Structure 1
Amino acid sequence: MIVPLIHGLGCSKDSFKDVWKFPEYEKYTVLAFDLLGFGNSSKPKDFSYTVEEHVEICKLAIEELNLERIHLVGHSMGGAIGLLLAEKIGGKVISFTNLEGNLVGEDCTLSREAIRYSLEDFETRAFQALKSKVSGTKELLGPTIMSQRLLYKWLSKSAPYAFYKSSESLVNWSDSGKLLRMFIDLDISKHYIFGELNRNSAVVRLLAPVPKTQISSSGHFMMVDNPQEFYRRLFRILSVE
């Protein structure tokens, strides 16, 4: 069975670097990769960077590798990508685990901040200001300084153009209400994981019919803030499918 791990906006596959420390995952083929425009992937200016196009690239990779029996896992923007991907590849997907993935407008923080600017302003000055804000805003991310340091590092490997265009699309999808309806109606096994700091968020209440797991002492980056609990809980979720 395959476990693709899809990272969030401005992040990289290193969001999930601790998974390799847990021997229980040896029963799975774990696949972590950088989305176009982020991490070590190519950053072409002629790619749209919409959520839909990120989905298409993931779909092509799955088809090229001939992957079947997939447990999709997506964090933040990767949750939105994973949700649309689950709809596209249908019978290949056994389950979908959403790690505080974008579902409603309130889920947009850095993405909404980005699109306050024109593309030109964002590329020339606002992206650097956003990185500086991240490095000094503990409340935005979680209870550990590690979350801040890592996100700053990942943002530094992100193309400003890719970040901006992905943000535009992500905000549009989140504000539409479609992602929330799709997730609730998704006709496969599904689960929502959230950090303890976000236990009172509106989306947690809106997901009353969906199985949920809270990770203690963590925020949006629960797999960084508390990897021991996160990966053991995720393993238990995957194991019952």
Structure 2
Amino acid sequence: MPSAARVVHEQIPLRVQGVNLRVASVQRREGTDAPVLFLHGFGTSKEDYLDVLQRHDFAGRSFLAYDAPGAGATECADLNQVDLPFLADTARALLDRAGIGQFHVVGHLTGALTALLLAHAEPARVLSFVNIKGILAPEDCVLSREALHHRDPAGYVLAVAERSRETPCYGGGLYAANLPTKVRRGAVPTLFRSMVELADHGNLLQKFLSLPCPRMYLYGEQCANLSYLPMLDANGVELAEIPHSGQLPMYSNPVAMWRQIAEFHARQLIPAARRW
């Protein structure tokens, strides 16, 4: 089993857009290749990625994962400020604080959208991008769009999550059980408004296609009807369909997900300009 030695868990104090944060993070600073930045999605947390410590194909790789503001164990002094640009600025501040220049990024759902904003603003820093069922089009925002029509968007999301225990979606039950403890209700309205605005008007698909780094779009078989998959394929994005999975492959088929990510990274031979 790969060693978890030199892995540091800490609360990092930051100030982003005038808001005080204490970011719950986990890092492995030493490594033989460029670090990997892991960004979790809405309703999940950094722990989604900690199996990286058990993967032989990631042994010795440096990485950074953290709970986004409004999620997990991270403390945020003003949850009303948590939108997607704020999350991208938080990621940039953490990278700069850690002295990370270039990096590989793996992002899930809203974490993938955060990564896309960051990569579009600073494309030279991103060596490769694994996008796990990220938001690229209006069709990806059905729940968030519905929630914004309710007086209490967070309450609506929690109610829908509770119902998801009985749906045929892979990983739905575990996601529903985790959601109440991993999401700060006060962050939901602003975050969802930002998400819908970007999906509708942010030209996200073209932003993703225009990135100069190698890209993979990874999704579960239950998401195989996404309308933009043929366009991704036609424009050089590597597609990875994970069997027995939906939007949450790290819950329902983590072995296949990690294998795809590891094989994708193994094909990227770009050296890092800066290390920890």
Q: What TM-score results when the alignment is normalised by the length of structure 2? A: 0.78
1:197-240, Cα deviation, whole Å (9 max, x unpaired):
11122121332322211111111111221111110110010111
* Among candidates 222, 225, 233, match of residue 249 of structure 2: 222
More RCO (CA 8 Å, sep 6+): 1
List alignment gaps of at least 5 residues for structure 1.
Answer: none
The verdict on how the C-alpha distance between 1:109 and 1:43 changes in structure 2, with shifts beyond 3 A counting, is farther
Instruction: Please give the alpha-carbon distance, in whole angstroms, between the structure 2 residues aligned to 1:75 and 1:170.
Output: 14
Say yes or no: does 1:239 pair with 2:242: no
* Residue 3 (structure 1) shift: 0.7
Instruction: Please give the alpha-carbon distance, in whole angstroms, between the structure 1 residues aligned to 2:240 and 2:264.
Output: 9
SS in 1 for 2:118: helix
Say yes or no: does 1:32 pair with 2:57: no
The verdict on how the C-alpha distance between 1:164 and 1:15 changes in structure 2, with shifts beyond 3 A counting, is farther
Q: Is the 8 A contact 2:43 2:175 kept in 1?
A: no
Instruction: Please give the alpha-carbon distance, in whole angstroms, between the structure 2 residues aligned to 1:161 and 1:181.
Output: 31
SS in 1 for 2:149: coil
1:123-149, Cα deviation, whole Å (9 max, x unpaired):
5x434423322333333xx2xxx4422
* Among candidates 75, 90, 94, match of residue 57 of structure 1: 90
1:17 match: 50
List alignment gaps of at least 5 residues for structure 2.
Answer: 1-33, 269-276
* Among candidates 196, 200, 203, match of residue 221 of structure 2: 196
The verdict on how the C-alpha distance between 1:129 and 1:108 changes in structure 2, with shifts beyond 3 A counting, is same
* Among candidates 136, 140, 149, match of residue 166 of structure 2: 136
The verdict on how the C-alpha distance between 1:178 and 1:237 changes in structure 2, with shifts beyond 3 A counting, is same
Equivalence map 1:108-187=2 (5 Å)? 108-118=141-151, 121-123=152-154, 125-139=155-169, 142=170, 146-176=171-201, 178-187=203-212
SS in 2 for 1:15: helix
One-letter identity of the residue aligned with 2:102: R
The verdict on how the C-alpha distance between 1:84 and 1:112 changes in structure 2, with shifts beyond 3 A counting, is same
Instruction: Please give the alpha-carbon distance, in whole angstroms, between the structure 1 residues aligned to 2:176 and 2:63.
Output: 22
Instruction: Please give the alpha-carbon distance, in whole angstroms, between the structure 2 residues aligned to 1:230 and 1:85.
Output: 23
The verdict on how the C-alpha distance between 1:82 and 1:196 changes in structure 2, with shifts beyond 3 A counting, is same
One-letter identity of the residue aligned with 1:41: T
Deviates most, 73-82 or 159-168: 159-168
* Residue 46 (structure 1) shift: 5.3
Matched-pair identity in %: 27
One-letter identity of the residue aligned with 2:130: T
How large is the RMSD of aligned CA atoms in angstroms?
Answer: 1.8
SS in 1 for 2:63: strand
* Residue 165 (structure 1) shift: 1.4
